[in-house]
Structure 1
Amino acid sequence: MELVTFATRVCKVLGVETMIVTNAAGGLNPNYSVGDIVCLNDHLNMAGLVGFHPLRGPNSDDFGVRFPPLSDAYDLGLRQKAHRTWQKVRPADGNRKMHEGVYAFVAGPTYETRAECRMLHQLGADVVGMSTVPEIIVARHSGIRILAFSLVTNNAVLQPVPRGDDAALSSMSPQELVDHLGKGRQGHAGAYDW
């Protein structure tokens, strides 16, 4: 975490007052399509909830208070400007959309299972990824305003994994089973569901 957030601390020392952060993320919200942009308005710090947190350890009072609030982590004024700008520059065909939503931060390095995707979606997450939140937390700890965007690079698979006792699968060859299950593979960095 210290290495990941080091550049954010440097920004604070250099006097940076506003940061724009971006990431590639898996779409949990079924209304999102690959290529959509999500202006983040909140996050679920799943890794932080179990102790993998960028502010864990002694506090550096030069940067911020011991227990900084994050209820305003994503600057409302900057989000309003982003939406106004999108209205001016959005593609004329209307195929690409900009949403506003919640990012779930997970530690990785594996992608989420189908059950984990369903859980994150039920908890209120619209997109999921393995970055961005530690930098945002440290930036807010340092008093830096944040505007954050996710690019939906794949749609997460929310359907349950096929059951081993499913009679419909019993006549499939081993390769057909591999192909059937392969429909559930996902990654955050590819612009496809594979």
Structure 2
Amino acid sequence: MTYEQLVEAATFLKDKGFVKPEIGLVLGSGLGDLADEISNPIQVSYSDIPYFPSSTVKGHKGQLVYGELNGKIVIAMQGRFHFYEGYSIQEVTFPIRVMKELGVHSVGLTNAAGGVSFDFTPGDLMLITDHINFTGQNPLIGPNDEKEGPRFPDMSQTYDREYQAKIKEVAKRLNVDMKEGFYMGFSGPTYETPAEIKMARVLGADAVGMSTVPEAIVARHAGLRVFGISCITNLAAGMQSNLNHEEVVEVTQRVNQTFRNLLKEILKEI
């Protein structure tokens, strides 16, 4: 994706009323209902935005929603794109670039994930403190445009530590048992094998999934502050009898209200 395409997409959204946003939110499987609480919303389908892919996953509405949420001007993605859908990794992360071009200073990344840690149970929320990129991809491969970020970005603090402290305070105040740990990103679309989960645990992963990592890389490259939260929707392969997407959607819907309340309070604090 070129810088000119990025500017064209951002200009299209500015003309629709997307002005001076502060925070971008990527709402994963079953979590998109939070965008329904945005005041005075402006909704734009992905299919209408220049160079945007289309979301093909059940539980993803496939639109950008702009407006006010708990005192902050936000842009929320109701559904994201995944490498396994057949898009290039640059297409997958293009919305993060557009959010930056529109003016956001931070992005919140949410996802549904499989629990690798033996301390997790389905329905837990995990604050992402770091990630392991096991996708075999990196969205920064190729020519680097210095207007978008440095050639060799530092990933030492991918997930903002000040935000992590504030999120833990919010969770404690709301009496939410917030877990924390490392998220390991795979390409998908297959769920991991039991052997791969054993490997992930040895490497230090607490949860696994098929998103978030490319978006976090691009966000840091663009100089954005990042926080990430996983909804643990199932135990990973080898830890329960089988895995299916219906369970993922069911669990996220079950904890939806808790997750929504948490995110709204987080927005107030950052």
Q: Which residue of 1 aligns with 2:229?
A: 149
Superposed displacement of residue 69, structure 1: 1.0
CA distance, structure 2, for counterparts of residue 42 and residue 15 of structure 1 = 25
Which one has the largest radius of gyration?
1
Residue 142 of structure 2 corresponds to residue 57 of structure 1: yes
Q: Mind listing any 5+ residue stretches in structure 2 that lack a counterpart?
A: 1-88, 252-270
Superposed displacement of residue 189, structure 1: 6.0
Please report the TM-score for the alignment, with normalisation by the length of structure 2: 0.57
What are the superposed Cα offsets for residues 29-82 of structure 1, whole Å, 9 maximum, x if unpaired?
Answer: 0101111100001001001xx3x1111111111111101011100000000000
Helix, strand or coil: the match of 1:150?
A: strand
AA matched with 1:114? P
Residue 206 of structure 2 corresponds to residue 126 of structure 1: yes
Contact 1:25 1:129 survives alignment (8 Å): yes
The CA RMSD over aligned residues, in Å, is: 1.7
The structure with higher relative contact order (CA 8 Å, sep 6+) is: 1
CA distance, structure 2, for counterparts of residue 105 and residue 114 of structure 1 = 16
Q: Mind listing any 5+ residue stretches in structure 1 that lack a counterpart?
A: 92-96, 160-182
CA distance, structure 1, for counterparts of residue 245 and residue 144 of structure 2 = 33
Contact 1:129 1:188 survives alignment (8 Å): no
Which of residues 187, 194, 200 is equivalent to 1:114? 194
4+ residue segments displaced more than 4 Å: none
AA matched with 2:204? G
Superposed displacement of residue 12, structure 1: 1.0
Which of residues 133, 150, 159 is equivalent to 1:74? 159
Q: Which residue of 2 aligns with 1:190?
A: 247
CA distance, structure 2, for counterparts of residue 102 and residue 188 of structure 1 = 22
- Percent identity, please: 43
CA distance, structure 1, for counterparts of residue 90 and residue 197 of structure 2 = 28
Please report the TM-score for the alignment, with normalisation by the length of structure 1: 0.79
CA distance, structure 1, for counterparts of residue 191 and residue 140 of structure 2 = 25
CA distance, structure 2, for counterparts of residue 185 and residue 77 of structure 1 = 38
